Amino acid sequence: MIRLNDYRRIVGNDVVEKIRETAEPLAGKHVVHVNSVYTGGGVAEILNRLVILFDELKIESGWRIMKGSLTFFNLTKKFHNSLQGEKFRPTRKRIRIYEEETERNAIMNHFDHDMVIIHDPQPLALIKHYEKSQPWIWRCHIDISRPYGPMWRFVKGYLKMYDGMIISMNKYKKKIGIPQFIIRPSIDPLSPKNRILSETRYKRILSLNGIDTDKPILCQISRFDKWKDPEGVLKIFNQVRKKVDCQLVLLGDMAADDPEGPMIYHRIMKAIEKNGGDIKALTIKSDLLVNALQRKSSVVIQNSKKEGFGLVVAEALWKETPVVARRVGGIPLQVRNGKTGFLIGSKKEGIKACIKLIEDRKLRERMGKQGKEHVRKNFLITRHIQDYINLFGHYLKN
């Protein structure tokens, strides 16, 4: 099992010592996280690592899952989309379904912890069913810069019961009368998805999955989700391959709380049938495949229309692979335009950037080195742990 000291060789002794020093006064405190899935998606991935490392620091961390029917998760996916700007009203019937499922979860979960952290919209309403004896914090992982008005008013009714809110960027701040903290997500450089792989090994992993290791690769790694716009990636690729010989790999999964995924994937497969060879869409759940693909790709694309943060960008940069991505959410914090990749505002710009990177190996290498250092300084799990310790200290120090 990975221990905190294992990160010393990556971030230095001072960073690890500060974490231990600032965590010491919080020893014995109990914190519980609540989200909607154990696997699939960035939230579960972050919690899988953070919970274990906090336990080592003697800040005991629990993790609960919001359970629900397909109807419930279809509804909360619509809530999610509406908070990102899509028009979807919280009607009385929809609110009733949401609150009844929430109440069932509240009956099954008892919180005697020192702090409760609720992640995203699915478990947001739990707070209504408890007599609070500790701080409750809502951790919002999505882009709420321009939410649909009726949905935001509905959500705000619950948020007023909270003691604070965590967001990923300053532009997500809202006038809601509770403290708001900026904590940016992170990647774990020692996880199977991000640890070092030899060239021999990553080529073998790709070959076993039917990916040609001799031809330049463009890839997008994301859920099959309309906000990630995989169909737009296909359009970019179809123009790029007219200029340079290359292949496209779309790799993603479909989390249990995202019922739209299979529908989007089916659409992609139909589009691939029309577009001919050199395109793969894979739903294999393998951190090592993600790792290998990000290392071998000439370009990683992130064509998201909306993005809470987009950690897949930091993952690619950590492997010294430049990223071509839209200017949305937290992506501009990771892609420094012209230095660690290219930020694009149109399909035409995306085509141009991909061709430039495929054709210029020295540019790819230079951007790759700058990208890795940028992630080391800003987006590793050790910084994330320190940010959470600071938050806990704000609320829990005696």
Residue range 232-251, pLDDT digits in tens? 999 999 999 999 999 999 99
Please determine, for residue 305, whether its predicted confidence score (pLDDT) is greater than 70. Answer: yes
DSSP string covering 241-280: TTTS--EEEEE----TT-TTHHHHHHHHHHHHHHH-SSEE
Count Cβ neighbours within 10 Å for each residue of 135-146 and write b for 16 or more, e otherwise: bbbbbbbbbbbe
Q: Which CATH number fits domain 4-186+380-396: 3.20.20.150, 3.40.50.2000, 3.30.360.10, 3.90.79.10?
A: 3.40.50.2000
More confident residue, 193 or 261: 193
| Beta bridge partner(s), residue 62 | 32
Three-class SS state of 301: strand
Closest to 121 (Cα-Cα) out of 168, 70, 175, 158: 158
Two tokens, residue 151: 């949905």
Q: Where exactly are the structural domains of the chain?
A: 4-186+380-396, 199-378
pLDDT in tens, 349-363: 999 999 999 999 999
* H-only helix segments in 297-336: 311-318, 331-334
Number of Cβ within 10 Å of residue 299's Cβ equals 26
Q: What is the pTM of this model?
A: 0.93
Q: What residues have CB less than 8 Å from 299, skipping those under 6 apart?
A: 217, 218, 219, 321, 322, 323, 324, 353, 354, 357, 358, 364
Please determine, for residue 4, whether its predicted confidence score (pLDDT) is greater than 90. Answer: yes
pLDDT, position 45: 87
Please determine, for residue 51, whether its predicted confidence score (pLDDT) is greater than 80. Answer: yes
More confident residue, 308 or 138: 138
Closest to 370 (Cα-Cα) out of 317, 313, 312, 302: 317
Burial class (CB in 10 A: 0-12, 13-18, 19+), 193: buried
Q: What residues have CB less than 8 Å from 340, skipping those under 6 apart?
A: 317, 322, 323, 334, 367, 370, 371, 374
> Average pLDDT of 312-332?
97
CATH architecture of the domain formed by 199-378: 3-Layer(aba) Sandwich (3.40)
Distance of alpha carbon 1 from alpha carbon 138, whole angstroms = 29
> Average pLDDT of 140-158?
96
Q: Do domains 4-186+380-396 and 199-378 have the same CATH topology?
A: yes
pLDDT, position 274: 83
Please determine, for residue 12, whether its predicted confidence score (pLDDT) is greater than 60. Answer: yes
pLDDT, position 257: 58
Give how far Cα 61 sits from Cα of 52, 72, 75, 116, 211, Å.
8, 27, 29, 10, 40
